[in-house]
């Protein structure tokens, strides 16, 4: 995401901030796989990573115009 820090939350409520997937892997440790979810229209979207036993959902920062 252009070097911006991203918040990742896993199924246990743990939080990590990382700029790259490599950085996230260093923090958690383990093998990395992409995680996808189904949308209402039947398509799938990449929503995070599975690292070791942690299913990490990505939450990108959002800036709203004033």
Please give the tally of structural domains in the chain.
1
Confidence at residue 1, expressed as pLDDT on a 0 to 100 scale: 53
Q: What is the pLDDT along the chain (66 residues), one digit of tens a residue?
A: 567 889 999 999 999 999 999 999 999 999 999 999 999 999 999 999 999 999 999 998 777 777
The pTM assigned to this predicted structure is 0.82
Is 64 part of any domain? Answer: no
Query: Would you say the C-alpha torsion 4, 5, 10, 13 has a positive or negative sign?
Result: negative
Would residue 1 count as lying in a domain?
A: no
Residue 65 covered by a domain:
no
Q: Which residue do the tokens 């929503």 mark?
A: 47
- Domain that residue 10 falls in: 6-59
Sheet holding 15-18, edge to edge: 15-18, 6-9, 54-59, 44-51, 32-38
User: Phi first, then psi: what are they for 64, rounded to 5°?
Assistant: -100, 140
């Amino acid at each position: 995401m252009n070097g911006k820090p991203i918040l990742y939350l896993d199924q246990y409520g743990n939080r990590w901030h990382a700029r790259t997937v490599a950085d996230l892997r260093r923090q958690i440790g383990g093998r990395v796989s992409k995680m996808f979810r189904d949308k209402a229209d039947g398509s799938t979207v990449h929503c995070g990573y599975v690292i070791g036993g942690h299913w990490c959902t990505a939450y990108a920062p959002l800036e709203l115009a004033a």
